Chain A
Amino acid sequence: MTPRARAAPDGAPEAATGVAVEVRGLSKLYRRMAPGFRLRTLKSAILERSLVRGLSPEESVAAVTDVSFSVARGEAFGFIGSNGSGKSTLLKLVAGILRPTAGEVLVDGRVAALIELGAGFHPEISGRENVFINGAILGLSRREVEARFERIVEFSGLERFIDEPVKTYSSGMYVRLGFAVAVHTEPDVLLVDEVLAVGDEAFAHRCLRRIDEFLAAGGTLLFVSHSLPLMESLCDRVLWLEQGRVQALGSPRRVVDAYRQAVAEAEGRLHQAAQQEAAAEEEDEALRWGSGQAEIRAARLLVDGEERYHLRTGERVEVALAVAVAEPLDDFVFGIAISTPRGHEVWGTNTDLEGWRPRRLAGAAEVAIACPSLQLAPGEYCVDLAVHARDGAPYDYRRRALTFTVTAERAVAGVYAPPHRWSFAGGVEWAEAGEEAP
């Protein structure tokens, strides 16, 4: 990141920097389009004498409800949330494209909204003329566009095609030109809605570098993205929106973590439910077999001492079993295996392999195996549990007795994620943080 003054994490924006965007008690109701409403005609409206009534909302859907926040000048402020949580509506309200149903938005300075790149491009006319039109739509005068034209074209990398009609452009070229015009409008407040997802890697980097420069020059950024790592690296504060309400607001690390956790929990619930369903449906030999001389009554996953089925790489994990036998046994082994849902075994062990010599198992027993730090890569995993004789004859074998999800901040290839450290010596050099790689 470019070094620059950062607002105190979690805290109110520093008073000295001033407030660029202030949102107070903002709500937006969308009119619900009853089936057929859009096809309503003037004729029917007049016939039913509902010309005025028809235009007032009958049923409405809250897209944003009572949202307040303020963004300091020079701050990078991110919005996260699932699809349909109201992020884009909120951005459009700040931009002034939509009008709030309640509450107010105060913006200090010139706003540019990158919600759709290349808005107003006309396919029949040249890139050059479209730059002027797009600039005018974004609020630049002809002279202002002329002054920036060279830089815009250079940034877009479309020098050779600038006089061709835009209809001959690929969608990537279209977006590049659109972004180039938008970032050169030199706004005080820049609103960006997930537009960096288009275009190739090189262009995305150029866009990010440009956004960094913009922030370094004291610009204010409001940013919507589904890329959580980008959020963490770019933003000073993040607002998590769920169903139009503020779920959390604060430092990116804290809010993004909470969001990840919630997503994993929701997914966890889903596959716990799926797992129970599957178990109920087929309590059959495919998932469970054995003589029944011993029985695994229950199995739980304990993460840091609480029952949970989503965890982060490196957390303390314990698998606890409740076992019961009808007749005492003197030959028994407890086993565990972790595998991916596709059936690749990741790790397996049992008491016999680790030298535990059985003497007697009678009545009810609790068995637990703990890993102080489970070094698994992000993904889904299944746990098989078994009680069997030392020769391998199963008493009770439970396939996929448990399933759990692992999340981590960074993507990892494979299934193993040990703690590690890089070190370098000799002719190796690395760029400083925030500096662009050549």
Chain B
Amino acid sequence: MLGRLLLHRGLLLTLTSRELAARYRGSLLGFFWSLVNPLLLLAVYTLVFDLVFQPKMGDARPYAVFLVCGLFPWIWLSGALLDGTSSLLANAGLIRKAVFPAEVLPMVSVLSHLVHFALALPILFAALIGSRLLGFDVGGWTVLLLPLAIAAQLPFTAGLALALAALNVHFKDVRDLLQNALTLLFFLTPILYPPSAVAHLPLVRTVIAANPVTPFVRCYQQLLFAGEVPGPGVWLQVVGLGVLAWAGGSWLFGRLEDTLVEAV
């Protein structure tokens, strides 16, 4: 699978830039939307949480900055999975009428959302620097390790997207299921709250610990917000999950591939 994707890397990149170009074509701000969206998000959260609600979340202060450290990677994951799931059906013409490597399509979704994530990072860095200037003890040199976390999340997201895309061709409700599952999963991932906030709820704690997205989000929060290097356990988990999801996703895609052309 990886070999075939590398072979078609030109196509992958061209289609990804088509995706990005088409999204902003005709809009006034163009690519700036990728900056404006996270900026607005950050501003609203700051207003609502840090100035109005002022939640008691232990060391998660300023809360809005803590929130976006986990939220931006989550948006990459959920956006890529939702788009990736419907990518094969949305491009049915290509698959049916051209000699076309279908596995490229879910990858395009993953990569274009990665670009959005990358474009949101400057906002995040600015917020971290701003918070430090205001005297909060957030971030640190560990931000430099961010590419490692992204490198682990990429195969994780890509593997899931491959599997979901292939399944969605045969079962049209996969996307609806996914949408609901993601909503639920969002609240079961320590994005809105640090794990310490649920320490007194053993059941919730177990579920959160079993949630495969948790180690990724924790990894980002530690690197970006806490300024800590995650322990070897966390690295083991994210790398393991990345490899597992990729292997499983490409296996399932390979199994269902032969029937794709007829089913889309």
Contacts and interface: CB of A to CB of B under 8 A. Distances in A.
A136 B99 contact: no
B36 interface: no
Contact of A97 (B15, B97, B167, B256): B97
B167 to A, nearest CB: 7
A98 B260 CA distance: 9
A142 B10 contact: yes
A122 B171 contact: no
B97 A115 contact: yes
Interface in A106-159: 111, 113, 115-116, 119-120, 122, 124-125, 129, 132-133, 136-139, 141-142
**Main DSSP-derived SS at the B contact region:** helix
Residue of A113, A138, A139 contacting most chain B CB atoms (<10 Å):
A139
Given A124-B26, A137-B94, A113 B172 contact: no
B11 A43 contact: no
B18 A39 contact: no
A142 B135 CA distance: 50
Contact of B11 (A41, A119, A137): A137
B4 to A, nearest CB: 13
B173 interface: yes
A198 interface: no
Contacts of B99: 95-97, 111, 113, 139
A165 interface: yes
Nearest to A39: B172
B262 A30 contact: yes
A120 B97 CA distance: 10
A41 B15 contact: no
B21 A97 contact: no
Contact of B25 (A41, A133, A165): A165
B22 A41 contact: no
Given A115-B97, A133-B15, A137-B11, A124 B22 contact: yes
Contact of B177 (A42, A119, A129): A42
B18 A122 contact: yes
A142 B8 CA distance: 12
A125 B22 contact: yes
B179 interface: no
A266 B262 CA distance: 32
Given A42-B171, A124-B26, A138 B262 contact: no
B261 interface: yes
A98 B262 contact: yes
B54 interface: no
B261 A98 contact: yes
Residue of B10, B15, B91, B99 contacting most chain A CB atoms (<10 Å):
B99
Interface residues of B, number: 29
Given A42-B173, A42-B174, A119 B93 contact: yes
Interface string B243-264: 0000000000000101101100
Contacts of A119: 93-94, 97-98, 100
Contacts of B100: 97, 119-120, 137
Interface string B92-108: 01101111100000000
B14 interface: yes
Contact of B98 (A30, A40, A138): A138
Contacts, number: 83
A96 B11 CA distance: 18
Given A97-B98, A124-B25, A133 B172 contact: no
Nearest to A41: B173
Given A119-B94, A119-B98, A124-B25, A136 B171 contact: no
Contacts of B11: 136-137
A191 to B, nearest CB: 9
A137 B98 contact: yes
Interface in A62-113: 92, 95-99, 111, 113
B98 A120 contact: yes
B96 A97 contact: yes
A206 interface: no
A311 B99 CA distance: 44
A48 to B, nearest CB: 12
A95 B98 CA distance: 8
Contacts of B132: none
Contacts of B14: 132-133, 136, 142
B175 to A, nearest CB: 10
Interface string B6-47: 000011001100100110011000000000000000000000
Contacts of B258: 99
A141 B173 contact: no
A129 B18 contact: yes
A226 interface: no
A367 interface: no
Contacts of A45: 171
Nearest to A29: B262
Contacts of B96: 97
A202 interface: no
A292 B219 CA distance: 105
A141 B171 CA distance: 35
B106 to A, nearest CB: 16
A313 B21 CA distance: 60
A136 B10 contact: yes
Contacts of A122: 18, 22
A120 B10 CA distance: 15
Contacts of B171: 40-42, 45
Given A42-B174, A113-B99, A120-B93, 7 more contacts: A40-B171, A95-B99, A113-B98, A119-B93, A120-B94, A124-B22, A137-B11
Interface of A: 30-31, 38-43, 45, 54-55, 92, 95-99, 111, 113, 115-116, 119-120, 122, 124-125, 129, 132-133, 136-139, 141-142, 165
8 contacts: A42-B173, A43-B173, A119-B94, A120-B91, A120-B98, A125-B25, A136-B14, A139-B99
Interface of B: 10-11, 14-15, 18, 21-22, 25-26, 91, 93-94, 96-100, 167, 170-174, 177, 256, 258-259, 261-262
